[in-house]
Each structure stands twice: as C-alpha cells, then as structure tokens.
Amino acid sequence: MRGSHLSRTRTLTAVLALAATGAVALSGCGQNQQKAAPAAPPKKPDAFERRADQIVHDWPKVSPVHGRTQTLLPLVEAERPKSAAAREITVTVGHSACDVRFGARSHESKDLVVITGWGKRKSAKGMCTEQLATDKVTVHLKSALDGRKVVDAATGKQLLKG
C-alpha cells in the first residue's frame, strides 16, 4: 500500500505543476487582439493548369489530349513576336461557331509558355453546328518570352521557339 500513496502524490504534484505552467503561459494571451481575415480555401487546379503542369514536367515527350473540351481548344497558329523582349503573343484560336465568348490563357515556366484556347457556349441546350470559327487573341505574359518555347496545350505541339 505504501507504493500507491507515493504514486498518487507524484501524479498530483505533476498535474499541479503542469496547471501552474499553463496558467503562466496563458496569462499573456488575449491582451493584444489581432484581426485575421478568413483565408480563402486553396484553389483546385483546373483542367488547363493540370495539363500545363504535365507538359512542363514531361516536355518534349507530350501526347495530344483526346477529345475536345471547352477549356482546352487547339490553337491554329501563333504569330512570332517582334522581339524576344515581347510580353504578349497573338494566337489564332479554333473555337465553336456557337461560342458567345472565347479566348486564350497561358501558363509560364522557365523554359516554356503553354497556351490554350477556351470557349463558352451560349447554352448547352439547343442545336449547334460543328462549324469551326477561328479568331486571333492576344495573350499577355507575366515575363518576356526571352527564348522560351510556345506550346499548344491541346495538341502538345511546339508553335514557336522564342
């Protein structure tokens, strides 16, 4: 019986010591109030971002995307910029004649600029012909082209060598 009495005393002493340490540590809390804005939830990469990351990782061994999606429309061509210091590229996007909006977007890495066309249909309902429309779109880059290769995200083909 003698051992159990000492064990209880030691346990009680340890608990009191931890409680006192916690009280001292918490005594300064709450005196300076800070306001924190709620953090936005992490954004999930969309189909284009996943494809662009894959191209950057696997370049030059990239296969084309099978099937046509509104977020990865193939490019018909890219116009060569006037200089390597250019921060925009004009591409020709092949989109549906039924698209009410269309454009192009880019993903940049150290060696590549991956570009895709996109389109937004007026309505998923109703009939639409499979007619292809092509229009020129200017893509603004975060940094100068400066020798980077320009790659079509839909086909995986190199359009320009910067």
pLDDT of residue 142: 95
Report whether 65 contacts 48 (CB < 8 A). no
Residues in a beta bridge with 158: 151
Report whether 153 contacts 51 (CB < 8 A). yes
Q: Provide the residue-wise pLDDT of the chain in tens; the chain has 162 residues.
A: 455 555 777 777 777 777 666 666 556 555 565 566 666 777 788 888 999 999 999 998 988 887 767 778 889 899 999 888 999 999 999 888 888 889 999 999 999 999 999 988 876 676 777 788 889 999 999 999 998 999 999 999 999 876
> HEC states along 138-153?
EEECCCCCCCCEEEEC
The predicted model scores a pTM of 0.68
pLDDT of residue 114: 95
pLDDT of residue 112: 95
Task: Report residue 111 as tokens.
Answer: 């060696």
